Amino acid sequence: MKTLLALLVAVSVFGCAEPPKKGPTYSERITLLPNQDGRKSAVVVKRATGEQEIATPYESVELVGGKEQRSALPKEEVEQRYGQVLQAQPARPFTYTLYFTTATAELTAQSRQSLNEVRQKIKGFPAAQVTVIGHTDRVGSDESNDALSLKRAAAIRDLLVQIGIARQAIEIVGRGEREPVVPTADGVAEERNRRVEIKLR
């Protein structure tokens, strides 16, 4: 299952398969394309002739006349041949968590400092769809925590609007204390539960 998933993802996002040609010159090539975010990737090519892994960007496995041929294509050739595919790669879904001080919608000092990282990520989502989910710890009543979690989500939405995301592209949700990262007894303050999750796609 893992191999199949890797192949499907690599062909659609990281790799290109040229369509088979009819007649005696039949060939099929799979080329691994680089990730936009620079992360390493690989694809396993399985055929009746055997199984091969491609793990280097611009490396290819080509089936010609029933025989496998491996090669490394020049970057310039790949960009010329697959330029439209490379440009069409969508940014990967992105989730980021920010934390809050007790009983407020104010970010902790560390989370305020990390906002620049969020800004940089957002640049890769020119038409971002965003869900902002607010959470609380278990200090306070269910009703007050529901309101506080929604207030936290709204505060982050306003920050994202300032960054440049359209307000109508942002959905906000308040979960209160229902989905803790760290399960605690009622009344326990836990910073890791006082959070907002930003999900971009």
Domains of the chain, first to last: 2-88 (no CATH), 94-200 (3.30.1330.60)
Q: Whole-angstrom Cα distance, residue 28 to residue 63?
A: 5
Structure tokens at 184: 């605690």
State pLDDT tens for residues 50-89.
Answer: 787 888 888 888 877 777 778 888 888 877 877 776 666 6
N residues, the chain: 201
Q: Provide the phi-psi class of 3: left if phi over 0, else alpha when psi is between -120 and 50, else beta.
A: alpha
Rounded to 10°, the helix 142-163/115-122 angle is: 60
List the structure tokens of 31. Answer: 């080329």
Most confident listed range (20-29, 73-82, 164-173): 164-173
Q: Give, in degrees to the nearest 5, the angle at Cα 162 between 150 and 151.
A: 10
Render pLDDT for 106-124 as a digit per residue (tens, 0 to 9).
999 999 988 888 878 877 7
- Quote the tokens at residue 84: 């439209």
Mean pLDDT of the chain: 80
pLDDT range class, residue 4, cuts 50, 70, 90: very low
Question: Could you write out the DSSP letters of every residue in the chain?
Answer: -HHHHHHHHIIIIIEEEPPPPSSTT-EEEEEEPPPTT-----EEEEETTEEEEE-STTEEEEEETTEEEEEE--HHHHHHHHHHHHHHPPPPPEEEEEEB-TTSSPBPHHHHHTHHHHHHHHTT-TT--EEEEE---SSS-HHHHHHHHHHHHHHHHHHHHHHT--GGGEEEEE-TTSS-SS---TT---GGGSEEEEEE-
